[in-house]
Amino acid sequence: MPIIALTTDFGTRDHFVAAMKGVILGIAPKTTIVDVSHEIKPYDVAEAAFVVWQVWNDFPQGTIHVVVVDPGVGTSRRIILAQYDRRLIVAPDNGVISWLHRSLRIEDMRSVENQEYFRPNPSSTFHGRDVLAPVAAHLAAGIKPSAMGPRTDRAEVLPLPVRPARTAGGFEGRVIHVDRFGTLITNITRQDLFAPAVQPRSWRVSVNNEAIGPIRDTFHDVPRQTVVALIGSADLLEIAVNQGSALERFGPAEGIRVEVR
C-alpha cells in the first residue's frame, strides 16, 4: 500500500490540507496519507527542510513525501521530484531538500513539467492541491518518476551550517532548529563529540559564554527550570531547560553561540 507523507505550513484551521488529501484519494484511493507536520512556520523553508530530513529514514522505502512550504508559489520557480535512499520527495525547488541533499546520495532528480499529471487549470496560488498532490498521487498509483519530466542536476540548496566550527579546544556550533518546547538543536553531532577515547562527560558546554556543564543523559539529570545539554534523538547536541524553554532563556536563535570544550 503506497504512503504519501505531507509536510506543509498550512496549519489545520483552513481547508488546504483536506483539499490536498481529497485530490490524492481521488487519484489513488488505496494510499495511506500521513501528516508529518502542518505547523511549519509560514514560509520557513529551512524549518521544513530540517523536519523532512529528521523523519526521512523513519518511513519505509517507497514513501512519497510532499512538501508545501512555498513562498514563491505561482512564480517561475520549479517543482522537483527527487529520490534519496529509495524514497521520493515532491517539493518546490526552493531549498526544502537541502538537508537531504547534503546528507544522502541523490539517486534521481526530475523537473516536474508534465501537465498531464496536474489538475486542469491549476491555480496560481495553490500548487499544493493542483500540482504537487496530484503528481504524488499518480506516483502512488504506479506512474514512473521518469514520466513527470526531464532529469536535472540542479537544485536550490540553502547555505546550511552543516559542520560546526573547530576551535582550539573543541567546537563552536550553530542552532539549526528550535522545537516546540524551545529546545535548541545544534549542528554539533554525536560523532563529533564521542570519538574513540573521548569520555562524554569530559566535555563542558557553554551558551553565549554562560557555562552549562557536562553533557547529560536526560532532561531530569538537572533540577526543574535548569539548563541542560544532551544528545537528542537526532544524534545532535541540544540545549534545553528541564520543563522550560531554552529559546526564552537564550533567544533569538540566530544569535546563540554554543561552544563545547
Judged on CB neighbours under 10 Å (0-12, 13-18, 19+), 29 is exposed
Q: Answer yes or no: is 159 within a domain.
A: no
By residue range, what is the domain housing residue 197? 165-260
In the prediction, which pLDDT does 200 show? 54
Q: Which of 122, 148, 174 is the last residue of a domain?
A: 148
Q: φ and ψ at 226, to 5 degrees?
A: -105, 145
Q: Is residue 238 part of a domain?
A: yes
- 90 in any annotated domain: yes
Task: Please tell me the pTM assigned to this model.
Answer: 0.93
Answer yes or no: is 153 within a domain: no
Residues 121 and 74 in one domain: yes
CATH number for the domain including 100?
Answer: 3.40.50.10790
How many domains would you assign to the chain?
2
Q: What pLDDT is stored for residue 202 in this prediction?
A: 84
Say yes or no: 98 and 196 in one domain.
no
Same domain? For 141 and 190 the reply is no
Per-residue pLDDT of the chain (261 residues; tens, 9 = 90+): 899 999 999 999 999 999 999 999 999 999 999 999 999 999 999 999 999 999 999 999 999 999 999 999 999 999 999 999 999 999 999 999 999 999 999 999 999 999 999 999 999 999 999 999 999 999 999 999 999 999 999 999 999 888 899 998 899 999 999 999 999 999 999 999 987 655 555 899 999 999 999 999 999 999 999 999 999 999 999 999 999 999 999 988 888 999 999
Question: For position 228, what pLDDT does the model report?
Answer: 97
144 and 169 part of one domain? no
Q: Is residue 156 part of a domain?
A: no
pLDDT at 251: 86
Instruction: Look at residues 148, 173, 188 and tell me which one is the last residue of a structural domain.
Output: 148
Smallest Cα–Cα separation from 187: which of 76, 53, 78, 62? 53
Task: Judge whether 157 lies within some domain.
Answer: no
Same domain, 143 and 30: yes
Instruction: Give the model's pLDDT for residue 141.
Output: 98
What is the rounded CA–CA span in Å between residue 153 and residue 112? 13
The predicted structure's pLDDT at residue 198: 58
pLDDT of res. 197: 56
Answer yes or no: are the C-beta atoms of 230 and 215 closer than 8 Å.
yes
Residue 34 CB burial class (10 angstroms; 0-12, 13-18, ≥19) = middle
Among the candidates 91, 118, 148, a domain finishes at 148
Is residue 242 domain-resident?
yes
- Locate 158 and state its grid cell: 540553502
